[in-house]
């Protein structure tokens, strides 16, 4: 009943043509772009990697062997579980958490400056200078970071000229370049949700707190952060999901010994030619990321509806 009433209201409000367009666009987007690929991936992940001729044949049955491989490796594996893949998996999750926290610490003050401190023209100039660098292609930006952090790069040159260190420091091997690149790649996705939430904060509340004697950190802790929590949650979710699923930056900026879980997935799909196994790996990454985000939302008492604001 409620649904028919909703449809009637929707059609009345938007008119027939617009209503049909909106609904079919959303439906197409949902089904073709989001649901179908994931369903196929899920289906793939439970199948054997068969040559094209055998697909649909007698041997094409469901299996959990791909998931078992992620956990225990090949049958000849001497270890009790698949050390390489699981280690890379957890390291990727940890690194994504690190990038998220780093971005939050970096972007919260920027968002605060934009939303509360800066006035008209200054704020616009700040937004512009934040956005313009992102006109440059992601791959190019990653290579630019490689040059910056290289052994004869700007940072090493400046550091050594100032006498901060003597021999060129290998930022790439230490994964500093990777973290910096990933962190920078998603700052806008962190800044704007927080800025958006913060902007509607009544400035008088800040003055009232100050008038009652509150120090700057308490004003943030008790008033600004609780108020912008939905924005912080949505920024953190996006940055975490995207950095856990990043491919280009780890590929270009990662050190020789560091492997990102997405790179393993990529290998299974591409060089390994094993789509079912790649799908299984991708599904596990997706599921764990979603569960982790939901868990963190529970911990910080954020409701899913708030994130959309």
Partner 1 sequence: MSVDVKLEDVWVRFGSFTAVKNANVTIRGGEFFSFLGPSGCGKTTLLRCISGFQEPTDGKILFDGKNMAGIGPNKRPTALIFQNLALFPLMSVADNIAFGLEVRGIGKAQRRKKADELLDLIALPGQGDKKVGELSGGQKQRVAIARALAVEPEILLLDEPLSALDLKLRQHMRTELREIQKRVGITFIYITHDQGEALTMSDRVAVMSEGVIEQVADSVTLYDRPEKPFVASFVGENNDFRGRVTSVSEGYAEVETSEGLFRGRVSEGNRDALSGSGPASIFVRPEALKIAGTATEASNAFEANLLQEEFEGNMRHLVLESKGGQRLRMTLVNDGHVLDYGPGSTVPVVFNPELAIVLPQEA
Nearer to partner 1, 84 or 208 (CB): 208
Q: Is 259 helix (H, G, I), strand (E, B) or coil?
A: coil
Nearer to partner 1, 157 or 215 (CB): 215
- The reply on whether position 119 binds partner 1 by CB under 8 A is no
Pick one of 120, 211, 256, 301: the residue that binds partner 1 (CB under 8 A). 211
Contact segment (CB under 8 A) with partner 1 among 10-18, 69-77, 170-178, 213-221 equals 213-221
- The reply on whether position 306 binds partner 1 by CB under 8 A is no
CA distance 174 to 156: 14
Burial of 142 (0-12, 13-18, 19+ CB in 10 A): buried
- The reply on whether position 226 binds partner 1 by CB under 8 A is yes
| In contact, 169 and 148? CB cutoff 8 Å | no
Q: Is 30 helix (H, G, I), strand (E, B) or coil?
A: helix
| In contact, 231 and 197? CB cutoff 8 Å | yes
What are φ and ψ of residue 97, in 5° steps? Answer: -60, -45
> Smallest distance from the beta carbon of 228 to partner 1, in angstroms?
11
Say which residues have a Cβ less than 8 Å from residue 209's Cβ, sequence separation at least 6: 218, 219, 222, 223
Count of CB atoms within 10 A of residue 93's CB? 18
Largest CA distance in the chain: 77
- The reply on whether position 309 binds partner 1 by CB under 8 A is no
* Structural tokens at position 271: 């060089």
- The reply on whether position 122 binds partner 1 by CB under 8 A is no
CA distance 111 to 127: 10
Nearer to partner 1, 118 or 223 (CB): 223
Distance of CA 307 to the CA centre of its chain: 15
Contact segment (CB under 8 A) with partner 1 among 39-47, 70-78, 129-137, 204-212 equals 204-212
Nearer to partner 1, 24 or 215 (CB): 215
Strand partners, 62: 47
DSSP assigned state of 75: T
Q: Looking only at residues 37 through 76 of this chain, which bind partner 1 when binding is defined by CB under 8 A?
A: none
Alpha-carbon distances of 227 from 109, 188, 210, 238, 290, rounded to whole Å: 15, 20, 16, 19, 24
> Smallest distance from the beta carbon of 210 to partner 1, in angstroms?
5
> Smallest distance from the beta carbon of 63 to partner 1, in angstroms?
51
| Per-residue contact flags (x/-) with partner 1 for residues 227 to 246, judged by CB under 8 A | x-------------------
Q: If we measure between CA atoms, which residue out of 248, 235, 292 comes closest to residue 89?
A: 292
- The reply on whether position 303 binds partner 1 by CB under 8 A is no
Nearer to partner 1, 182 or 224 (CB): 224
> Smallest distance from the beta carbon of 237 to partner 1, in angstroms?
21
Nearer to partner 1, 104 or 206 (CB): 206
| In contact, 200 and 166? CB cutoff 8 Å | no
Contact segment (CB under 8 A) with partner 1 among 43-51, 90-98, 211-219, 265-273 equals 211-219
- The reply on whether position 202 binds partner 1 by CB under 8 A is yes
Nearer to partner 1, 138 or 199 (CB): 199
For partner 1 (CB under 8 A), the number of binding residues is 17
Sole residue written with tokens 């996006």 = 238
| Per-residue contact flags (x/-) with partner 1 for residues 158 to 197, judged by CB under 8 A | ----------------------------------------
* Structural tokens at position 159: 């550091």
Contacting residues toward partner 1, per CB under 8 A: 202, 204-205, 207-215, 218, 222-223, 226-227
């Amino acid at each position: 009943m409620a649904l028919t009433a909703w449809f009637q209201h929707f059609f009345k409000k938007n008119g027939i043509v617009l209503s049909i367009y909106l609904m079919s666009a959303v439906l197409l987007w949902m089904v073709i772009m989001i649901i179908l690929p994931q369903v196929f991936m899920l289906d793939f992940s439970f199948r054997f990697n068969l040559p094209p001729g055998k697909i649909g044949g007698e041997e094409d049955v469901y299996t959990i062997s791909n998931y078992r491989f992620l956990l225990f490796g090949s049958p000849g594996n001497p270890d009790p579980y698949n050390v390489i893949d699981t280690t890379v998996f957890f390291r990727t999750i940890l690194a994504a958490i690190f990038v998220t926290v780093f971005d939050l610490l970096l972007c919260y003050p920027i968002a605060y400056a934009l939303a509360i401190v800066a006035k008209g023209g200054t704020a616009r100039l700040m937004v512009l200078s934040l956005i313009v660098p992102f006109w440059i292609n992601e791959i190019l930006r990653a290579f630019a970071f490689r040059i910056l952090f290289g052994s004869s790069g700007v940072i090493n040159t400046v550091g050594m000229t100032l006498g901060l260190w003597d021999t060129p420091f290998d930022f790439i091997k230490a994964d500093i370049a990777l973290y910096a690149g990933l962190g920078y790649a998603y700052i806008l996705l962190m800044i704007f949700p927080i800025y958006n939430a913060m902007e509607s904060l009544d400035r008088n509340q800040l003055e009232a707190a100050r008038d009652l004697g509150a120090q700057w950190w308490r004003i943030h802790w008790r008033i600004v952060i609780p108020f912008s929590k939905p924005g912080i949650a949505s920024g953190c979710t996006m940055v975490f999901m995207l950095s856990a699923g990043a491919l280009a930056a780890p590929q270009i900026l990662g050190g020789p010994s560091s492997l990102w879980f997405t790179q393993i997935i990529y290998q299974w799909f591409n060089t390994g030619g094993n789509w079912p196994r790649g799908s299984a790996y991708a599904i596990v990454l997706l599921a764990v990321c979603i569960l982790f985000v939901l868990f963190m939302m529970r911990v910080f008492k954020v409701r899913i509806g708030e994130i959309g604001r």
